[in-house]
Structure 1
């Protein structure tokens, strides 16, 4: 198994950057384009469990665009072979002081490009020390 082939890693980093730009800009169509259009795609959020692309689309369409700006920390992207990757990052928002968000995404290469097939977002108290 080849880990972090430079060309594959660059592709996933670019897809992750597009996701982040779409997220903070509340670009619902852009976010939708980055998730796999399939009933098995899932997203566990801070207060919701979304099973299937239709549930994810409905959540995105109803989400408030306020307070989406954030800073990332400790982002790590690892590719496995040419068609599979995991992206993990911490994030902080001015709207949630004292909290740190955690985000993990599983990415898969499809004929339409790199797509998120599973995502998890959670929020915890900022660790001390």
Structure 2
């Protein structure tokens, strides 16, 4: 298996950037489109466990658009073959300077493009190191 093929990393990086732009601007339609429409898709959030595309979609529809701005750091896009990738990043919000967010997404290429099939978001106190 080939790891981190440059063209695949570029494709997933573009999809990840599209996700981030949609997230901070509360573009729910794009966010919905980037998650795989499948009952096996899941998202573990800061305060919720969402099983299935419909649950994720309902969460996005009901989420407040206030305070979504954030800065990313230490983003890593790793690809495995031509059709699987993991995107990992830290995020920081001005409203919570003593916290750091962590986000991981598993992306899979389907015939209609790249989609998130699993995501995990958590927030912890900023580590001292």
TM-score (norm 2): 0.99
> Structure 1: how far apart are the matches of 2:17 and 2:3?
20
Tell me the alpha carbon deviations over residues 66-88 of structure 1, each in whole angstroms, 9 at most, x when there is no partner.
Answer: 00000000000000000000000
Gaps of 5+ in 1: none
1:96, distance to aligned residue in structure 2 (A):
1.4
Aligned to 1:59: 59
How many residues of Structure 1 are paired with residues of Structure 2 in the alignment? 129
- Stretches (4+) displaced over 4 A: none
> Structure 1: how far apart are the matches of 2:25 and 2:95?
16
> Structure 2: how far apart are the matches of 1:92 and 1:30?
22
User: What SS does the aligned partner of 1:96 have?
Assistant: coil
1:94, distance to aligned residue in structure 2 (A):
1.1
TM-score (norm 1): 0.99
Aligned to 2:122: 122
1:30, distance to aligned residue in structure 2 (A):
0.5
Gaps of 5+ in 2: none
Tell me the alpha carbon deviations over residues 37-66 of structure 1, each in whole angstroms, 9 at most, x when there is no partner.
Answer: 000000000000000000000000000000
User: What SS does the aligned partner of 2:56 have?
Assistant: helix
CA-based RMSD: 0.5
